[in-house]
Amino acid sequence: MELSRRTFHTLAGATALGLALDGTATAHPRPAAAPPPAADALRHTVGFDRHSLLVDGERVFVWSGEMHPFRLPSPSLWRDVLQKMRAYGYNAVSVYVAWNVHSPAPGQYDFTGVRDLDLFLRTAAETGLFVILRPGPYINAEVDAGGFPGWLTATAGTARTSDPTYLGHVDAWLTAVNGIVARHLYTRGTGTVLLYQIENEYDAYVDQPAGRDYMAHLYAKVRADGIDVPLFHNDNGRNGHWVPGSFDTGGETGRWLYGFDGYPSPFKTPPDWGHFGSGGSKGGATASPDTPGFVPEFGGGWFDPWGGVEFQGRGYAESRRTRDAAYERRFYLTNLANGITLHNVYMTFGGTSWGWLPSPQVYTSYDYGAAFDEGRGATAKLVPMHQLGHLLRGVTDFAELVRAAEVKAADARVKVYHLTAASTGAHVYVLRNDSADPVATTVPVGGVQLPVSLPGQDARLLAAGLRLGRRTLRYSSAQPMLGITAGRQDVLVLTGRGGEATRTALEWADEPEVRVLEGDAQHSYQDGALRVDARLDGLTRVLISGGGAAAPVLLLLCDDEASVRLWPYETPSGPVLVHGPALLRTAALDGTVLRLTGDTTEASGLEVWAPRGVGEVTWNGVAVRTGDSPSGGLRADTPLPGPGPVALPSLSGGWRRREENPESAPGFDDSAWRRADLTRSFSTTPVPAGQPVLFADDYGFHYGDVWYRGRFTGATGATSLSLGYSTGTQGMLMAWLDGVALGRHRMPVPDSTSVRKGSWEATAELAVPERLRTPGAHVLSVLVRRMQHDMDGKSLDTHKAARGLTRAAFAGAAPRIAWRLQGEAAYDPVRGPQNNGGLYGERQGWHLPGHPDADWTAVELPGAAARLGVTWYRRSFRLDVDPGTDASIGLVLDDDPALAYRAQIFLNGWNMGQYINDVGPQHTFVLPNGILRTRGGNTLALAVLSDGTTVSGPGVVRLALLGAVVGGVPVEAVDSPGR
């Protein structure tokens, strides 16, 4: 996140965050917020009522973000993202567990390396985040087959029903995953798994035994495996599906939550899905009035298809622009007003659908326009998440809001939601401006007509009578963020847009002494309240003491940019408040020493407020000289250093090139290939009469390219060849007869009507050259880029649609073709089943580090070959990034968009994704540290698939710095075996 130079200098000299309000106590004292969860070896209870979750009897507002460890194939970086989430205010992380990532074959389950679920759950607990676990068995998630393993596509049984064959496979999967999850349940004190989802957006067979029995079976299985936290399902919209009592739970009551997903358009009015909605089974939370409002998935962005039609070719930057911070305030605050107290943002970190992991609907990047970008960088979308997250985590009033008397703004363009906390009597107001124009108006808040300004298409939260720490906020036109006690003073933070005029009144028994330490603010005292008027510009500091207060109070009024340089952190000895750096990761007290870790993106000031007795500070293990600050904290004498330059090598030279596809030659030895001799299939694609099954999955080839070689005699009279084939989006086919290229066929680029289409069928009509129309023996060679399996969102077994060739026929002749086929070789046990396809170079290890390539042809880029088939490019490069710098690096490919070719990208043997030059829109591919050796040698290989219609690249290939910080987390090299 970039800050202006003015804001940086303001922050660098400023105080840390926090403020507490003294004065008249409310009639109903607010219970203290619970400390962050941990694997603390204590037994805990997790229940709920109609308002919220109850953890150990205390209310918890779940403010969660979605990330998928399988979309970040570097376990060290899981800690990086989780620490960032906690720092920005999240108290929970929601994760899918993808069956296909862990299961290369029936009965085989792998939870090692980049698939180490146990490590991820331990890391989440160490970070202090609750976990919402979602292991399917079906997950959707824009992954291949919706998370079903490839081998399941060629099995009997109807998926997502009570079919016993399918349930047998499901039980084996759940046994494997639940054996790990059971060791990390918060109820047992051995982890922080708080909630567990069964199935995913299941809207088929809702009123039929096949569906009800299926859900009952999953429920019973999960409970039998020892999972004792509340279970839930995410309704695919507001349908009232799978509310409590809708299926058999074995007599267990009060342990099942209703949740619903929502992805409203940013161009429409935010919907009321709760307190202020229409009610009933279609009303969202009101479908289950005895359970809390729960949105397991609320839009934090949206996915983009091949060709980029969703965002007019602008990619995920456009998703982030249209679902920006103002969108979050409008839509997420509307959810809060509607009583949604379990709120998960999908996605918060999208990551990368590397290898053959993505579903047909998406390309490699799964950035999603999320709050953290694909390179793990913070974006401006984190501002409202940070402000709201720390408020909701620290003030339990928001977990029990109910509707209060109607309140209207003076300007009718501003919609006002008025709520009150059931036990404390605090009042909360959500103000929303759905017009395009800014509005200045007044709203009756806390007994006054409070002046408030709202930008167009934006919203804000106001509070009155709200207890923050030891003080009470009478009213404010700024949004409260947190109130805590740090050392000998209380600290209160309120936030808003830059340049806004704010008015804040704090309950105060007698007139206090007030000093404005920084910024432009005026103050007055009347009727038991101290009023502070200030315009938000960076950080305004007001120190208040006396007047009956037990301790001084530091009031911080900050604009958005300043708010995200304020970092609270809970320790066993009390809260720590840090101001200045780009990120605070951890804070720990060691006697009188406060040990901090975190990140800087530039030279940054540091100011801390800590429990009494702290006199020394370290930052990332280095002692920091400090002095007392006027704000009552410790301030660093000199700025923390920012990152130095990161040198990236040029990739234009040093390449070696080799052509492949020997399979197209008639003399190629295919005797070890699998004979296509099946006559029946479990696929949803019919087997053509009189032809064998040609579907790749039926022969055990589930990912990547597949080759077919057909032998026949008698081509006399054959004028053309028809090849039927079925693929995912952007699939293609190439064919050779007796080594002569016949041509290619490719599926169309999806448009706005077909972006969700997952299976594409077509027939390639290819002319047979006259010289090949002979009666002797012939060899037909066909390469199919099958792409991925369709998801099964409608429970129609669409993941079983054929991939590869489906039929072959000649016009003018009818020879009988004897087929053999070859796809991926034995799966890579380190990199997983989605890493490799069936190209010759992949089967020979050309993508692996250490493969001998001295006899390859030395070339420079850009390349310009015109041929039908596959050409490989390899080179090595070294990086020497400073060991204290976390540099996020991407690979950029670019060329004339008229050139038709595509490339598989391999880094140190890991398949980082697919680039399609003439389709796009993706040109930058994130190379995750751990797989990328930032201090050492790397091997880059590109498998370029050319369709023969144009010359093919690669064109420009370069490394790009996506972001750099001093700090980060220690990164262990991901195992990348070579050959």
> What pTM did the predictor assign?
0.96
Distance CA 933, CA 689 (A): 53
Give yes or no for residue 340 having a pLDDT over 70. Answer: yes
Distance CA 934, CA 956 (A): 22
pLDDT recorded at residue 32:
52
Our measurement of the distance from residue 548's CA atom to the centroid of its chain's CA atoms, rounded to an integer in Å, reads 48
With a pLDDT cut of 90, the percent of the chain lying above it is 95
Distance CA 752, CA 758 (A): 14
User: CA separation (Å) from 332 to 270, 344, 498?
Assistant: 9, 10, 21
pLDDT recorded at residue 33:
58
**Structure-token pair, residue 631:** 């704000």
pLDDT recorded at residue 14:
31
**Residue 10 — pLDDT band, cuts 50, 70, 90?**
very low
pLDDT recorded at residue 487:
86
424-477 confidence digits (pLDDT tens): 999 999 999 999 999 999 999 999 999 999 999 999 999 999 999 899 999 999
Q: Which of 19-23, 160-164, 945-949 has the lowest mean pLDDT?
A: 19-23
pLDDT recorded at residue 865:
82
76-105 confidence digits (pLDDT tens): 999 999 999 999 999 999 999 999 999 999
**Residue 488 — pLDDT band, cuts 50, 70, 90?**
confident
Give yes or no for residue 121 having a pLDDT over 70. Answer: yes
503-561 confidence digits (pLDDT tens): 999 999 999 999 999 999 999 999 999 999 999 999 999 999 999 998 999 999 999 99
DSSP track, 330-350: HHHHHHHHTTEEEEEEE-SB-
Matching residue, tokens 């326009």: 369
CB within 8 A of 844, min separation 6: which ones?
A: none
User: CA separation (Å) from 339 to 209, 237, 291, 425, 428?
Assistant: 33, 17, 11, 16, 12
**Structure-token pair, residue 662:** 């020997």
Give yes or no for residue 814 having a pLDDT over 50. Answer: yes
Give yes or no for residue 778 having a pLDDT over 90. Answer: yes
Whats the size of the chain, residue-wise?
979
pLDDT recorded at residue 13:
31
**75 within 8 A of 355, measured Cβ to Cβ:** no
**940 within 8 A of 657, measured Cβ to Cβ:** no
Give yes or no for residue 771 having a pLDDT over 60. Answer: yes
Return the closest-CA partner of residue 659 out of 943, 357, 408, 307.
943
Return the closest-CA partner of residue 552 out of 609, 474, 594.
609
**Structure-token pair, residue 587:** 């804070």
Q: Which amino acid is at 891?
A: L
pLDDT recorded at residue 21:
27
Q: How far apart are the first and last CA of the chain?
A: 41
Mean pLDDT for the chain?
95
Is 297 annotated in the active site? Answer: yes
pLDDT recorded at residue 8:
28
Is 142 annotated in the active site? Answer: no
48-77 confidence digits (pLDDT tens): 999 999 999 999 999 999 999 999 999 999
Distance CA 795, CA 158 (A): 9
Catalytic residue among 66, 199, 297, 400: 297
Give yes or no for residue 979 having a pLDDT over 80. Answer: no
Please count the other Cβ atoms lying within 10 Å of the Cβ belonging to residue 158: 16
pLDDT recorded at residue 15:
28
Strand 901-907 relative to strand 910-916, pairing: antiparallel
867-913 confidence digits (pLDDT tens): 999 999 999 999 999 999 999 999 999 999 999 999 999 999 999 99
Give yes or no for residue 325 having a pLDDT over 90. Answer: yes
189-217 confidence digits (pLDDT tens): 999 999 999 999 999 999 999 999 999 99
pLDDT (mean) for 752-760 = 96
pLDDT recorded at residue 469:
87
Return the closest-CA partner of residue 200 out of 99, 286, 349.
99
**Residue 5 — pLDDT band, cuts 50, 70, 90?**
very low
Give yes or no for residue 9 having a pLDDT over 80. Answer: no
Catalytic residue among 66, 142, 199, 201: 201
